[in-house]
Amino acid sequence: MFKLFGRHQNSILKTIKHWLLENSRVLITASTSAGIVILFRSLGLLQTWEWALYDNFFRLRPTEPLDPRIVIVGITEADIQKYGYPINDQLLAELLQKLHSLQPRAIGLDIYRDLPQEPGHQKLVTALENIPNIIGIEKIGTDNNLGIKAPSILEQKQQIGFNNFVIDADGKIRRGLLYMHLENGNFRTSFPLKLALNYLKVEGIKPKPANKPSYLQLGQAVFYRFKINDGAYIRADAGGYQFLANPRKKGRFHRFTMNDLLSGNISPKLFKDRIILIGYTAISVKDLHIYSYSTRLFSAPQKISGVELQANFLSQILSSALDGRANIKVLPEPVEWLLIIVFSWIGANLSWELLLPRKSILITLFIGISITGIFYVSFIYGGWWLPVIPPILALTGSASMIMFHLAHLREELQKSTEFLQSVINAIPDPIFVKDKYHRRIVLNEAYGKFIGYPIDNLLIKTDYELFPPNEANVFWQQDELVFQTHQEQENEEYFTDAQGISHIIATKRTLHQDAAGNLFLVGVIRDITERKKMEENLKEAAARLELDNAQLKQLGDSLHHQANHDPLTGLPNRKQFYECLSQAIEWANLNDKMVGLLFLDLNGFKAVNDTLGHAIGDLLLKEVAKRLQGCLRGSDTVSRLGGDEFTVILPGIPGKLGASRVAEKICHTINQPFKLENNTLSVGTSIGISLYPLDAEEIDQLINHADSAMYEDKKKHKKQR
């Protein structure tokens, strides 16, 4: 299993290595483009562009319905002209009493009142003391700004909220505040949140920690705490509990003037159980601000009053908590970087695959528009503020870099092909040059003559259009092998020309690279058809000669066997017997061993020949030969000297006792009945034994001693009968 895993692992590593080599230019370009965009973004160079597009997403967003929970009582220019500026405490007290009588759920006083404005200051104090649901406003001092305090009576009742805004570098307000922590350890609640909490308390909704303890949850909404690099922001001030604003278009609230209220020109049901915000809307007061909806393409930004901005923050809190309206969310910074990297790779890869600049530009433009559209839909329906500018810049940047690189490659390719063309035309062998897509880019005249087509036609056709599929497949595989291994290859292939004549060719393929990195496969062809025919003829002649030699050897072996073996039994004959005995004695002398020699003669064999015929006698001799071979060692040699005489050579026999035991075994074997063609025969054997060197040291003497011993044994058998 581990070996199998190792083989698969090696295969995977080779595949990855090949892919990296093939796509190295794309990877380098994509990484470079993504790195530049991430650097620009980290330096804040794209922040203004992203803010502008973000504001346009708001401006193009479908108009939301009016929020009926909030009513704005604005102090207009006309009110100032009629009642003066600032309005005195008596008039403000009357205004508050009038509003209180309309039974609102909360009243937000977006008017600073840190100093008395006579006449009527005491009446205002009394009104503020007696109206339980009024929320005043203060401005917390920051840096060199000392701030503005709220009326002391409201501070005592803890019915105040701060009015501090977070203003971006371009002067727009895109963030709101829920809480601020002061240096003394205390914290303050913002003016819109204070009003929202009063309103939501009636609905049974109280603030509580979200899944992340640092986040605030109100009803259905989680208010994601702003971080220094959220959205398009880079190293922004994230002090306090900030959140990204999700405002409504201007005019999405019921609006009345102070004069409408004091004159009774109102509908009381619009005020009951609502939140009433009172504040200046007159331009002369200069309490005007720019937010996302203020953007205009061809005109100055349209500002809104502070009280309406507070209404937007208040509406966002209420609609998120009660209606599930989406708060603005952003991706984690690493995910945004990943997005940039992905689109950078897409741009580089598309341009590399498409090759044509026009197609690349159109596809890149389409993807850029698609990114904008998809991110806009995510913003509309999910509240996601996704970075549009960085991915588009990474996409177009990497695509442009690849297009410039391809243009450079094409220029160098043109130079290289012109040079190659001038060189190979002087070479008599057919030569082709292909690019990494297996397309012919240069051919010499010899190649055109060899294949039988004009060169112009060959340059626009592929191998599969010119040759049979099996030949084209081989050409493609051999070309690809060189491109993958970067090693020289030589291969023999079949090649069919324009007249349908097949050739056998030897093609040598090598890989070359120009200064721009373009790869060229150069193939040199040699027609080896005639040489192959000669080789085949030589092979056939060699095969015939080898067959003749084999037959001669077989004949020689047969003659040698016939000369040294008995034709009837296949046993060594007398000549071979003498050679074997001589070798056994030489071996015995070298190894200080003995050799036993047995002479055998069949008893009653003549009677078998006389009564049953020579055919049965021959069968009997064959069976005797088989039995002798079957009961002896592989190193022992059985020979037939002629007639019914047999010999047995026993190399390395330990002594007479061992030879006697072999003789007894032979006798027992031969004495067993023979069944030959429905005849059952019983014959015996007489055996003479001699030992070298005990009985004789000369071969003839050794043989004579064994022969004499056999005749003595034969006499014994005759007497016994």
Written as one string, the DSSP assignment of 12-77 is: HHHHHHHHHHHTHHHHHHHHHHHHHHHHHHHTTTTHHHHHHHHHHHHHHSPPPPP-TTEEEEEE-H
For residue 2, pLDDT beyond 70: no
**Cα–Cα dist 517/410, whole Å:** 11
For residue 378, pLDDT beyond 80: yes
Mean pLDDT in residue range 443-470: 83
Count of helices and strands (H, E) across the chain: 23, 29
Length of the chain: 721
User: Which two tokens mark 69?
Assistant: 């929970």
Q: What are phi and psi of 715, to 5 degrees?
A: -60, -40
For residue 615, pLDDT beyond 50: yes
Q: What are phi and psi of 231, to 5 degrees?
A: 60, -130
C-beta separation of 147 from 121 below 8 A: no
* Percentage with pLDDT > 90 across the chain: 39
**Cα–Cα dist 403/51, whole Å:** 30
**Segment 340-368, tens digit of pLDDT:** 999 999 988 888 887 778 888 898 899 99
Element (H, E) at 395: helix 389-424
SS (H, E, C) 451-486: HCCCHHHHHCCCHHHHCCHHHHHHHHHHHHHHHHHC
Between 640 and 111, name the one with better pLDDT: 111
For residue 174, pLDDT beyond 90: yes
User: Which two tokens mark 582?
Assistant: 């001589």
> For the chain, what is the mean pLDDT?
86
For residue 617, pLDDT beyond 50: yes
Provide the residue type at 392 as one letter: I
Residues contacting residue 134 through CB under 8 Å, at least 6 positions apart: 96, 100, 106, 107, 108, 109, 128, 154, 159
C-beta separation of 467 from 491 below 8 A: no
**Cα–Cα dist 4/113, whole Å:** 83
Element (H, E) at 685: strand 684-692
For residue 210, pLDDT beyond 80: no
Residues contacting residue 180 through CB under 8 Å, at least 6 positions apart: 140, 162, 164, 187, 188, 190, 239, 240, 241
Lowest mean pLDDT among 234-243, 330-339, 511-520, 574-583: 511-520
Predicted confidence band of residue 592 (pLDDT cuts 50, 70, 90): confident
Lowest mean pLDDT among 11-25, 80-94, 306-320: 11-25
Whole-number pLDDT of residue 417: 65
C-beta separation of 79 from 258 below 8 A: yes
Predicted confidence band of residue 1 (pLDDT cuts 50, 70, 90): very low
**Cα–Cα dist 6/689, whole Å:** 69
**Segment 222-265, tens digit of pLDDT:** 898 999 999 899 999 998 899 999 999 888 899 999 999 999 88
C-beta separation of 440 from 449 below 8 A: no
CA distances from 702 to 320, 651, 707 (A): 126, 14, 9
C-beta separation of 716 from 685 below 8 A: no
Strand order across the beta sheet in which 440-443 lies: 440-443, 431-434, 519-527, 502-513, 489-496
508 exposed, middle or buried (CB, 10 Å; 0-12, 13-18, 19+)? middle
Please report the beta strands in 219-345, taking only residues with DSSP state E, as ranges in sequence order. 221-223, 241-244, 254-257, 275-280, 288-291, 304-305, 329-330
For residue 456, pLDDT beyond 60: yes
C-beta separation of 222 from 214 below 8 A: no
Rounded to 5°, the CA angle 370-371-374 comes to 80
Whole-number pLDDT of residue 426: 65
Strand order across the beta sheet in which 175-181 lies: 187-189, 175-181, 241-244
Whole-number pLDDT of residue 8: 45
Lowest mean pLDDT among 101-110, 321-330, 403-412: 403-412
Helix axes 614-630, 656-671, angle to 10 degrees: 140
For residue 6, pLDDT beyond 60: no
C-beta separation of 496 from 515 below 8 A: no
Whole-number pLDDT of residue 13: 43
**Segment 471-490, tens digit of pLDDT:** 889 889 998 898 888 888 88
Tokens 């349209």 identify what position?
A: 302
C-beta separation of 156 from 133 below 8 A: no
Predicted confidence band of residue 559 (pLDDT cuts 50, 70, 90): confident
Neighbours of 316 (CB within 10 A): 26
pTM of the model as a whole: 0.62
**Cα–Cα dist 698/692, whole Å:** 8
User: Which two tokens mark 151?
Assistant: 């009326």
User: Which two tokens mark 172?
Assistant: 């727009």
C-beta separation of 257 from 78 below 8 A: yes
**Cα–Cα dist 132/538, whole Å:** 119
For residue 15, pLDDT beyond 60: no
Whole-number pLDDT of residue 709: 87
For residue 550, pLDDT beyond 80: no
**Cα–Cα dist 520/365, whole Å:** 33
Between 577 and 459, name the one with better pLDDT: 577
**Cα–Cα dist 584/565, whole Å:** 18
Between 719 and 553, name the one with better pLDDT: 553
Rounded to 5°, the CA angle 227-311-115 comes to 100
Identify any residues that bridge with 674 across adjacent strands, giving them in sequence order. 681
Mean pLDDT in residue range 625-644: 85
**Cα–Cα dist 24/8, whole Å:** 24
* Percentage with pLDDT > 70 across the chain: 92
Q: What is the DSSP string of 567-626?
A: TTT-SB-HHHHHHHHHHHHHHHHHHT--EEEEEEEEETHHHHHHHH-HHHHHHHHHHHHH
User: Which two tokens mark 461?
Assistant: 């056709």
As annotated, the active-site residues are 644
**Segment 26-74, tens digit of pLDDT:** 888 888 999 999 999 999 999 999 999 999 999 999 989 999 999 999 9
